[in-house]
Amino acid sequence: MRVSTQARPCPCGRGDDYVRCCGPLHEGAPAESVERLMRSRYSAYVLEHEAYLLATWHASTRPAALGLAAANPAPSWLGLSVKRHDTEGNRAVVEFVARVRYGGGSAQRMHETSRFVREDGRWFYVDGDVGA
């Protein structure tokens, strides 16, 4: 995982410093909302924090590994926009658009509607539908 201890904006886009924003979640604190978990997962992709991504992925759909460090070309994450988040009991949906660039290519949009479930007071990513 690429994490600096210097003060810097959090990759999730909330405008907070990483140490006060997604940093505590990456260290094991539970996300207080499904939106916060989704934002912290985006930050984990930016920082190549594969262990966090796997730990917050529901066991029923979790892959064995993601291979983030081996991605070639490595993605450059350019920003996140959360379009909506709806929670109903222990289930939730978050719709977002992430902007990413691979190598020297053009920026691309990844539009996803993700599903989450809460178990034992913690939110987990289940799966998502990628669309235009």
Which whole number is the average pLDDT over 13-20? 90
Distance from the Cα of residue 29 to its chain's centroid: 15
Tens digits of residue pLDDT in 33-74 = 999 999 999 999 999 999 999 999 999 999 999 988 888 888
Q: How far apart are the first and last CA of the chain?
A: 30
DSSP state letters, 26-90? HTTPPPSSHHHHHHHHHHHHHTT-HHHHHHTB-TTT--S---GGG-SSPEEEEEEEEEEEEEETT
**pLDDT above 90 for 30:** yes
Tens digits of residue pLDDT in 119-131 = 999 999 999 999 8
- The pTM score is 0.91
pLDDT of amino acid 1? 55
pLDDT of amino acid 121? 95
pLDDT of amino acid 66? 93
Domains of the chain are 23-131 (3.10.450.50)
Averaging pLDDT over each range in 7-21, 61-75, 88-102, which range is the top one?
Answer: 88-102
Which residue's structure tokens are 């604190």? 29
% of the chain with per-residue pLDDT over 90: 80
